[in-house]
Amino acid sequence: MKTLYDKLWDDHVVEDLGSGDHLVYIDRHFLHEVTSPQAFDGISKKNLKPWRLAANIATPDHNVPTARGQNFELESIEDEVSKIQIIELDRNCNKFDIPQFDINSEKQGIVHVVGPENGFTLPGMTIVCGDSHTSTHGAFAALSMGIGTSEVEHVLATQCLRIKKLKNFRINLLGCPRDDVTSKDVILYVIRSIGTDGGTGHAIEFSGDYISSLSMESRMTICNMSIEAGAKVGLIAFDKITESYLSDKVQLDKSEYDKALEYWKSLSSDSNAKFDKEIEIDVSKIKPQVSWGTSPEMTSDYDSCVPELDQNSDKYSTYKKAIEYMGLKEREKLSDLTFNKVFVGSCTNSRIEDLRSVAAEVKDKRISESIEEALIVPGSGQVKLQAEKEGLDKIFIEAGFSWRDPGCSMCLGMNEDKLSPGDRCASTSNRNFEGRQGHMGRTHLVSPMMAARIAIHGGIPHE
């Protein structure tokens, strides 16, 4: 009896190398401008070519400007070093013949948004990328994980990874959530419950009737942040919802599709499969979540307070440092905080469903006077087009938001979209680390719905 992870693992082992090491075949490799140049350089120096070209797909996302319009010239990127990196991706893709959605492509966007929406992410695949949020693709019952640049080079050169098997961890999410609780709140609650190292060394499979009820977009948000719970692999079984999402995205003839579908239907854990660790969470008890500190586990209910410092707790020094950095006081009500920035975007929450949720909150309203900048950065060119087709861009602009072009943007502030020292930002991204969104910036992780409400109220609304 096997777990979903066991099945995917067994299907991809090329060779058992002894003492736990295995050579594992990689079906899909996503590339972006930041973690690939040194890997391309590595294979060039060894006079090697990519092992299997069709496995690769590249797009620039991490440091592209997000106010660029059509027919953007790379030369106009002000930051010389960013420009070199994006040009280098172009150069490497041309040199090695790797397909790329370049900066002016309609399909360019955040690699973890682009992959699924173009049918590059398929159930049963192994998927890697030099980016820890590659766990996103696990929502499609694909064994998918972030890797370092040496491993990017290894995959380019050999189409394989040398890795050890992870342990199995199942998180059963049961029940029906409140109307104002989204999958972002649920994954933040999971991280807060098990800690940022709760899933270390494990592949987490998310299951239960709550997961079955979710759209693919919401499932991607959950798997995306499994890395914030320490697990580089997050997984969700294949079902009717996966099938329906894929139906208009994969280009296969009927007989091939039927064969694939028959295999995909086997991609779930056997009913009596054994997990090394298993927990259950009742999602009906979860309230909207807001992070208060500098680690995703430092998260609380939206109607609660900053924790009280306890000198006897082993968390004392870590919490004290976080509270100081965030400009907070112990026991301060989260709803008393004033925000001046809002960021809607990132591989966690920049898909069409996220933008619709923001639009529903801000329609015919204006953002608060306290908000100096409110960015909405769609995850891809296709998300942007769809949003504009639905008129969402007009709703955002009328409410006072800045409507941008696709990229990672203020999630990590590699381009111009950065927080300034002391800024307090409601962000739909995934990490609230010190300086993550800009030097001395203060990040509060929230759902798109909460980000929209904070934009309107200038703070976390009271009940």
State which of positions 402-441 bind another protein (CB under 8 A): 412-414, 431, 433-436, 439
Question: 71-82 b/e with 16+ CB inside 10 Å = b?
Answer: ebebeebeeeeb
Smaller CB separation from another protein, 258 or 398: 258
**By CB under 8 A, how many residues form the interface with another protein?**
83
Q: Write each residue from 84 to 113 as x if it is in contact with another protein (CB under 8 A), else as -, in one continuous string.
A: xx--x-------------------------
Span 371-400, contacts to another protein by CB under 8 A = none
Is position 313 an interface residue for another protein (rule: CB under 8 A)?
Answer: no
DSSP code string of 269-337: --TT---SEEEEEEGGGPPPEEE-SSSTT-EEETTSBPPPP-TTSTTHHHHHHHHHHTT--TT-BGGG-
Among 165, 257, 287, 301, binds another protein (CB under 8 A): 257
Among 124, 177, 400, 458, binds another protein (CB under 8 A): 124
Measured between alpha carbons, how far is 251 from 424 in angstroms, rounded to an integer?
A: 45
The type of residue at 272 is N
Smaller CB separation from another protein, 350 or 357: 350
Contacts of 236 (CB under 8 A, 6+ apart): 138, 139, 140, 141, 205, 206, 207, 211, 219, 222, 223, 242
Smaller CB separation from another protein, 80 or 179: 80
Q: How far is the CB of 396 from another protein (least distance, A)?
A: 26
Measured between alpha carbons, how far is 242 from 223 in angstroms, rounded to an integer?
A: 14
Q: How far is the CB of 439 from another protein (least distance, A)?
A: 4
Among 59, 269, 295, 428, binds another protein (CB under 8 A): 295
Among 6, 49, 149, 356, binds another protein (CB under 8 A): 149
Measured between alpha carbons, how far is 442 from 445 in angstroms, rounded to an integer?
A: 10
Smaller CB separation from another protein, 162 or 331: 162
Span 152-211, contacts to another protein by CB under 8 A = 153-154, 157-160, 162-164, 196-197, 200-201
CA gyration radius, the chain: 22
Among 37, 175, 208, 461, binds another protein (CB under 8 A): 37
Q: How far is the CB of 368 from another protein (least distance, A)?
A: 28
Measured between alpha carbons, how far is 405 from 226 in angstroms, rounded to an integer?
A: 27
